[in-house]
């Protein structure tokens, strides 16, 4: 069903996120009939423009970044609903003008007083924007609902995340806050719950008795792409592990929720995070690995090292690779390690979850090459390939018993062609209908920082003398291989 009538307010209305993701996603929702009929977009930015000039900018941006051909008639009707408010977010006058624009949208476009405030601004402006909403009364729900969408990074350690959460709850109710994680908008990520809980065959073996270990990889072949200044203060652990990887981990490890209601699902997810053992400094030194890329080759092309990227210090200590071994200490998973890794400029783009099962109890086929064949393994491929693949063994045809690995797989391609999307569509629509299942809750964010902060603390006190320690285009530093080799295991690198 289409979203509820509302005004969609974007703070940071001329930023990268707005042009690359938000405008194309809203257009896709419109094309799929999922935007409310009574709808308006209000963009807030510093530049001195009027509605007409902003609409021109938005049209140009959409033509550049749309994921489907832009239909003139559809866009013409849509662009009329876009309005512009100029202003600085520190200035109360901006919020006054925004209030007037919202009243106008209510009258002209029938938005019923409902509003979504999307904070597409740098993290140091989150606080002032929310304070502005509070002081101006725009966050009050006395004539329609008000929801606030916050982008990552949500804090930079446990303390700052708690401070931000405190600031938010002093102005908003938790139900009004939507902390967005674009990984949860991906089809293949949403499919994890369906795969686990709509099929009866996997759940009985989804535990410590049958699973040897779990791996989660988010590998990128791109570098920092001109975002050196942001990345210098983030690093791989904050950029990918604390949010995206932990979300994947909770989906794999959570208990079945009693219903699919937002709170039921999020309660189960946070229980998984709470069960992850906090690492001591010794654990960090042993079980966490960091890396930084030096120059190398990607697709046959020479690329510079991280320290040579624009806006990066030539002596940078920022990690562009992080790996670690996590222990989920609950009844289902005790003793089953979860190995996670994320990195830039790795051999190829690949986001994948691997569930490695235990070997069969009896080696009946010792003479048939079993030693050389891995035990059963389930790969959930998230991107760029979207598939689920179970590796089993079969007998090669012939008189002798010879075992070969074969794959049972399902690929998203089998569904036929789906129009490309940005991945934000589902999430934006969820905000419009008030479904917060796929968004981080305050306690989830704090729990994930509790896990990550001790690692950051140890790394901050010990300089990484071996940086750069992996060449662009490889699978990261040797320490990452050793982390698994020590346990007699290895990463399931894609073939
Ligand atoms: C973002 C990170 O959250 O995710 C980026 O800030 C990263 O550094 C991106 O490149 C990866 O997203 P995706 O959807 O391409 O895997």
Q: Could you give the CA distance from residue 193 to residue 355 in angstroms, rounded to a whole number?
A: 15
Reported confidence tier of residue 322, pLDDT bands at 50, 70, 90: very high
What was the pLDDT predicted at 441?
95
Ligand 1: nearest atom to the Cα of 220: 10
Ligand 1: nearest atom to the Cα of 183:
14
Which of 79, 88, 87 has the alpha carbon at shortest distance from 60?
79
**461: CA distance to ligand 1 center in Å?**
27
Q: Is the pLDDT of residue 460 over 90?
A: yes
Q: What is the mean pLDDT of residues 135-142?
A: 94
Tell me the pLDDT band of 225, cut-offs 50, 70 and 90: confident
Ligand 1 atom nearest 222 alpha carbon: 10
The pLDDT assigned to 370 comes to 54
Residue whose CB lies within 8 A of the most ligand 1 atoms, among 123, 232, 239, for a mutation test: 239
Q: What percent of the chain has pLDDT over 70?
A: 98
* Contact criterion met (CB below 8 Å) for 214 and 358: no
pLDDT computed for residue 359 by the predictor: 87
Residue with the bigger pLDDT between 219 and 394: it is 219
The model's pTM is 0.94
Residue 323 in contact with residue 486, Cβ under 8 Å? no
Least confident of 371-385, 453-467, 475-489: 371-385
User: Ligand 1: distance of its center to the CA of 215 in Å?
Assistant: 19
Strand 39-45, strand 82-86: pairing: parallel
Q: How confident is the model at residue 345 (pLDDT cuts 50, 70, 90)?
A: very high
Burial of 402 (0-12, 13-18, 19+ CB in 10 A): middle
The answer to whether 255 and 268 are in contact (CB under 8 A) is: yes
Find the range with the poorest average confidence among 25-29, 189-193, 414-418, 425-429: 414-418
Q: Is the pLDDT score of 268 beyond 60?
A: yes
Report residue 441: phi and psi, to 5°.
-100, 160
**Separation of CA 219 and ligand 1 centre (Å):** 10
Q: Which residues line ligand 1 (CB under 6 A)?
A: 220, 239, 351
- 55-69, 149-163, 357-371: least confidently modelled range: 357-371
Q: Do 240 and 342 contact (CB within 8 A), yes or no?
A: yes
Mutate to test the pocket of ligand 1, among 240, 245, 351 (most ligand atoms within 8 A of CB): 240
Residue ranges in 204-258 assigned as alpha helix (H): 228-234, 236, 246-253
**Residue 222 has what pLDDT?**
95
Ligand 1 centroid–CA 265 distance in Å is 24
Our answer to whether residue 244 is catalytic in this structure is yes
Return the SS3 of 492: coil
> Mean pLDDT across the stretch 411-430?
89
104 annotated as a binding-site residue: no
Q: pLDDT at position 372, please?
A: 53
CA dist 256 and 248 (Å) reads 15
- The average confidence (pLDDT) of the chain is 94
The answer for residues whose C-beta is within 8 angstroms of residue 101's C-beta and 6 or more apart is 42, 83, 85
Statement: residue 374 has pLDDT above 90:
no
Is 80 exceeded by the pLDDT of residue 362? no
Min mean pLDDT across 117-126, 226-235, 327-336, 411-420 is at: 411-420
Residues 186-216 pLDDT 10s: 989 999 999 999 999 999 999 999 999 999 9
Measure the N-to-C terminal CA separation of the chain; round to a whole number of Å.
41
Residue 246 CA to ligand 1 center (angstroms) comes to 14
Task: Give the separation between CA 52 and CA 309, rounded to whole angstroms.
Answer: 38
CB-facing half-sphere around the CA of 20: CA atoms within 13 A: 5
One of 83, 109, 213, 244 is an active-site residue; which one? 244
Work out the pLDDT band at 425, boundaries 50, 70, 90.
Answer: very high
Residue 371 has pLDDT above 70, yes or no: no
What's the DSSP call for residue 367?
Answer: G
456 annotated binding-site participant: no
CB-CB contact of 316 with 294 (8 Å): no
Among candidate residues 307, 302, 117, the one with its CA nearest the CA of residue 224? 307
For residue 383, give the ligand 1 atom closest to its CA.
Answer: 16
CB 179 within 8 A of CB 443: no
Quote the pLDDT of residue 494. Answer: 60
Three-state SS for 442? helix
Q: Is-contact 92 53, C-beta < 8 A?
A: no
CA distance 115 to 44: 14
Q: Give the DSSP letter of residue 354.
A: E
The CA-based angle 235-272-260, given to 5 degrees, is 110
Q: For the segment 288-306, what is each residue's pLDDT rounded down to a tens digit? A: 999 999 999 999 999 999 9
């Amino acid at each position: 069903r289409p979203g509820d009538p509302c005004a969609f307010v974007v703070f940071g209305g001329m930023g990268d996120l707005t042009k690359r993701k938000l405008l194309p996603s809203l257009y896709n929702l419109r094309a799929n009939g999922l935007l409310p009929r009574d709808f308006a977009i209000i963009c807030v930015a510093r530049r001195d423009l009027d509605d007409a000039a902003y609409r021109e900018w938005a049209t140009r941006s959409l033509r550049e970044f749309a994921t489907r051909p832009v239909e003139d008639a559809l866009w013409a009707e849509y662009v009329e609903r876009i309005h512009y408010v100029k202003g600085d977010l520190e200035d109360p006058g901006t919020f006054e003008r925004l209030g007037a624009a919202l009243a106008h949208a209510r009258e002209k476009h029938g938005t019923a007083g409902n509003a979504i405030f999307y904070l597409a601004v740098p993290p140091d402006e989150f606080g002032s924007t929310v304070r502005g909403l509070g002081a101006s009364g725009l966050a009050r729900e006395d004539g329609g609902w008000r929801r606030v969408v916050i982008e990552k990074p949500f804090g930079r350690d446990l303390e700052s995340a708690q401070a931000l959460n405190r600031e938010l709850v002093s102005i908003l109710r938790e139900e009004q806050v939507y902390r967005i994680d674009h990984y949860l908008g991906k089809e293949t990520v949403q499919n994890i719950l369906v795969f686990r809980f709509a099929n009866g065959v996997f759940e009985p073996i989804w535990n410590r008795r049958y699973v040897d270990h779990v791996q989660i990889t988010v590998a990128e072949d791109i570098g920092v792409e001109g975002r050196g200044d942001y990345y210098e203060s983030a690093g791989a652990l904050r950029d990918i592990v604390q949010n995206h990887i932990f979300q994947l981990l909770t989906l794999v490890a959570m208990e079945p929720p009693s219903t699919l209601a937002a709170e039921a699902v999020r309660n189960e997810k946070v229980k998984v995070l709470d069960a992850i053992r906090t690492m001591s400094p010794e654990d960090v030194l042993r079980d966490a690995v960091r890396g930084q890329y030096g120059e190398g080759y990607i697709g046959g092309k020479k690329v510079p090292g991280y320290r040579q990227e624009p806006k990066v210090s030539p002596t940078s200590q920022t990690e562009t690779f992080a790996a670690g071994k996590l222990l989920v200490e609950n009844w289902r998973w005790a003793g089953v390690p979860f190995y996670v890794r994320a990195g830039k400029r790795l051999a190829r783009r690949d986001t994948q979850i691997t569930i490695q099962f235990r070997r069969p109890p009896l080696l009946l086929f010792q003479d048939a090459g079993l030693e050389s064949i891995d035990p059963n393994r389930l790969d959930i491929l998230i991107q760029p390939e979207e598939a689920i693949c179970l590796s089993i063994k079969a007998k090669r045809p012939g008189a002798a018993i010879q075992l070969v690995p074969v794959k049972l797989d399902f690929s998203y391609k089998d569904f036929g062609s789906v129009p490309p999307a940005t991945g934000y569509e589902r999430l934006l629509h969820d905000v419009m209908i008030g479904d917060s299942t796929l968004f981080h809750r305050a306690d989830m964010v704090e729990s994930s920082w509790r896990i990550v902060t001790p690692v950051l603390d140890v790394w901050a006190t010990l300089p990484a003398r071996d940086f750069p320690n992996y060449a662009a285009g490889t699978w990261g530093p040797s320490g990452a291989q050793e982390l698994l080799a020590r346990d007699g295991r290895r990463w399931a690198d894609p073939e």
